[in-house]
Amino acid sequence: MAATTAFKGAKSSRWRRFVLKPFVFVQFFFGIGLLAIALKQFRRKNTHPAQSPELIAKDWEILYYRIIPFRAISRAWGWLTNCHLPVWARRPLLGLYARTFNCNLEEAKDGNLDNYSCLAEFFRRKLKNGVRPIDSASAVVAPSDGTVLNFGRVTAGMMEQVKGVSYSLGEFLGPAYWRNGPEVQPAGQTELEYEKSLLVNKDNDLFHCVIYLAPGDYHCFHSPVDWTVNFRRHFPGALLSVNPSIAKWVAGLFSLNERAVYVGRWEHGFFSMTPVGATNVGSIRVYADEKLRTNCTKWALPLPYYDRYMGPTETDSDEIPLHKGEIFGEFNLGSTIVLIFEAPKDFEFKIRPGEKIRMGQPLHVTGSSVKQEAAAH
């Protein structure tokens, strides 16, 4: 028996030596690397003024940041938040979450915390009828609750992520062949040419708006206009944090992350709405698109993106007509919505960067031609 015990002890010791020690070393050096990046960024902030290009992450820093297993972490978080909570634990745990993130329980359709069986259910809570009135006079309304990160006119195929940090329209949407089926992207096409290729009416301009949903916000997203969806492109991507502080640091953040780009037409031409995934928000659900599967392993979705045509000629799918304010989908926890759309040149936004907005409120100045044309209809 003593010999058997010694043998088992030796096996256990060898297992620790060959498995645990390398893991500890990886953790140690990985932690040191992240600490080095943090210290370097801290020194940059003390040396350079706010919004300085020097504060944007270098390529090697982004590469190191992306090594963190955010997708596995997000799946683990998803499993944890879906764990059944005993009734006695619901009020203290969910109440703590609600107080921490300033959730307004008075707006919830069900304000009794005892009725939510898990944290994920509370994340996806629905609101009472009437607490988010849809502005009938506005052609474009906020698709969700959240904070405005940035908005404006698309310039030479580039969009501002936050002030001083831009990203490419073409990289975010991918090849623009959703109108007539698969085509080869023209060789050498510039960012400006790509932008112009999206316009249905060449007298219009492209505009964009980015809204960040915090953990305490209402997590469903709605249609901001009357439009018809006829194409979806799913980028498996990464699941980096989309917190505003990270958005100021990582250029092209939204083009790196998992996202589902929905493309269609509204009264002025091109319109797209993109829910973007993030750390602990791998699960994006779109009610009219049951085929969408997010936060899968790289082995399950190895390609850069996956297209689905929803035109009336498709045998397995139909276009998705959406009315302004109609519920479209939901996030688990919080993330980002990116709107990119075509509108008359005099379109003006009615919002400010950093402003807290609520689903259904107007996004544009009602004196513009967009409003006048909407009223005419």
The predicted structure's pLDDT at residue 271:
96
List the chain domain ranges.
Answer: 141-360
Mean pLDDT of 85-113: 91
The predicted structure's pLDDT at residue 143:
96
The predicted structure's pLDDT at residue 180:
54
**Is 145 among the residues known to form the active site?**
yes
The predicted structure's pLDDT at residue 256:
85
Q: Burial level of 252, CB count in 10 A (0-12/13-18/19+)? A: middle
Q: Which residues contact 16 (CB under 8 A, 6 or more apart)?
A: none
Q: Which of 9-18, 80-89, 184-193 has the lowest mean pLDDT?
A: 9-18
Which among 138, 208, 217, 222 is annotated as catalytic? 222
pLDDT, tens only, 210-262: 999 988 899 899 999 999 999 999 998 887 777 777 777 777 788 888 899 99
Q: Residue 17: which pLDDT band, with cuts at 50, 70 and 90?
A: very low
pLDDT, tens only, 318-361: 788 999 999 999 987 768 999 999 999 999 998 998 999 999 99
Assess whether pLDDT exceeds 60 at residue 46. Answer: no
Mean pLDDT of 255-275: 93
CA 133 vs. chain centroid, Å, equals: 24
Angle between helices 21-47 and 59-67 (to 10 degrees): 140
Assess whether pLDDT exceeds 70 at residue 6. Answer: no
Q: Residue 26: which pLDDT band, with cuts at 50, 70 and 90?
A: very low
| Partner residues linked to 262 by β-bridges | 232, 273
The predicted structure's pLDDT at residue 232:
93
Instruction: Name, of 11-25, 128-142, 270-284, 302-316, the range with top average pLDDT.
Output: 128-142
The predicted structure's pLDDT at residue 349:
93
Average pLDDT value for the chain: 79
Q: Strand, helix or coil at 34? A: helix
**Is 335 among the residues known to form the active site?**
yes
Which among 138, 283, 335, 368 is annotated as catalytic? 335
For residue 265, which of 153, 342, 349, 359 has the smallest C-alpha distance? 342
Question: What share of the chain has pLDDT > 90, as a percent?
Answer: 36
| Partner residues linked to 151 by β-bridges | 209
**Is 222 among the residues known to form the active site?**
yes
Q: Residue 24: which pLDDT band, with cuts at 50, 70 and 90?
A: very low
199 or 162, higher pLDDT: 199
Q: Residue 40: which pLDDT band, with cuts at 50, 70 and 90?
A: very low
Assess whether pLDDT exceeds 50 at residue 7. Answer: no
Assess whether pLDDT exceeds 60 at residue 39. Answer: no
CB 236 within 8 A of CB 358: no
Which among 74, 138, 144, 145 is annotated as catalytic? 145
Q: Residue 310: which pLDDT band, with cuts at 50, 70 and 90?
A: confident
Assess whether pLDDT exceeds 70 at residue 13. Answer: no
d(CA 282, CA 78): 8
44 or 75, higher pLDDT: 75
The predicted structure's pLDDT at residue 18:
45
Q: Residue 42: which pLDDT band, with cuts at 50, 70 and 90?
A: very low
Mean pLDDT of 170-195: 76
Q: Residue 281: which pLDDT band, with cuts at 50, 70 and 90?
A: low
Assess whether pLDDT exceeds 70 at residue 1. Answer: no
The predicted structure's pLDDT at residue 29:
43
199: left (phi over 0), alpha (psi -120 to 50) or beta: beta
For residue 341, which of 290, 277, 270 has the smallest C-alpha distance? 270
Assess whether pLDDT exceeds 50 at residue 11. Answer: no
Assess whether pLDDT exceeds 70 at residue 314. Answer: no
DSSP tag of 313: T
| Partner residues linked to 322 by β-bridges | 227
